Amino acid sequence: MSPEALRETARHMVETVPQASALGFKLLSVEPGRGSILTPWREDLVGDPDTGVIAGGVVTALLDHVCGLAIISTARDGTTPFSTATLDLRIDYMRAAAPRADVTASAHCYKLTRSIAFVRAHAYDADPEDPIATAQAAFILKRGAA
């Protein structure tokens, strides 16, 4: 897939899927096997009003979505398009996001078999080396469905 086509597919996935759009996701980057998404901070996404920190559930949705993005980005010209569904997702929370901080997540699809994709992702606010959360996931690939 050309970089432009990949970017367009990724933008569609990140910005038009209803939940992604409702959470305000923005595509930051995509390349084969990797992608990253920004979630701007918003008042209605807060988990603890005492701290103004984005809710853990938003980070869960963000990590799940960026994993899906990394998988979709592995599609190559001439291969059957596929859709994916999450099988298993584990998230470790290292620390809360900073108050009123935007959250970014990056994912790497590091292994694809015929039917399963394995992905690692992490979420951070200011510094990618100081993550809010790390995730590991397995997704099923349903080939032949767009």
Partner 1 sequence: MSEAAERLEAFLARVPYVRFLGMRAELAGDEMTATLPFAPHLVGNVMMPALHGGVIGAFMEMTALAQLSVIAQSPKVHKTIDITIEYLRPGRALTTYARADVRKVGRQVANVHVEAWQDTRDKPVAALRGHFLLKAHAGGAARP
Binding residues for partner 1 (CB under 8 A): 17-22, 43-50, 55-58, 60-65, 83, 85-93, 96, 145-146
Q: Which is nearer to partner 1, 17 or 112 (CB)?
A: 17
Alpha carbon 136 to its chain centroid, in Å, reads 11
CB of 8 closer than 8 Å to CB of 16: no
Q: Which is nearer to partner 1, 74 or 136 (CB)?
A: 136
Q: Which is nearer to partner 1, 6 or 61 (CB)?
A: 61
Q: Which is nearer to partner 1, 49 or 78 (CB)?
A: 49
Instruction: Write the secondary structure of 116-144 as one string of H (helix), E (strand) and C (coil).
Output: EEEEEEEEECCCCCCCCEEEEEEEEEEEC
The distance of closest approach from Cβ of residue 42 to partner 1 in the complex, given in angstroms and rounded to an integer, is: 9
R_g (Cα) of the chain, nearest Å: 15
CB of 80 closer than 8 Å to CB of 143: yes
The distance of closest approach from Cβ of residue 144 to partner 1 in the complex, given in angstroms and rounded to an integer, is: 13
The distance of closest approach from Cβ of residue 30 to partner 1 in the complex, given in angstroms and rounded to an integer, is: 18
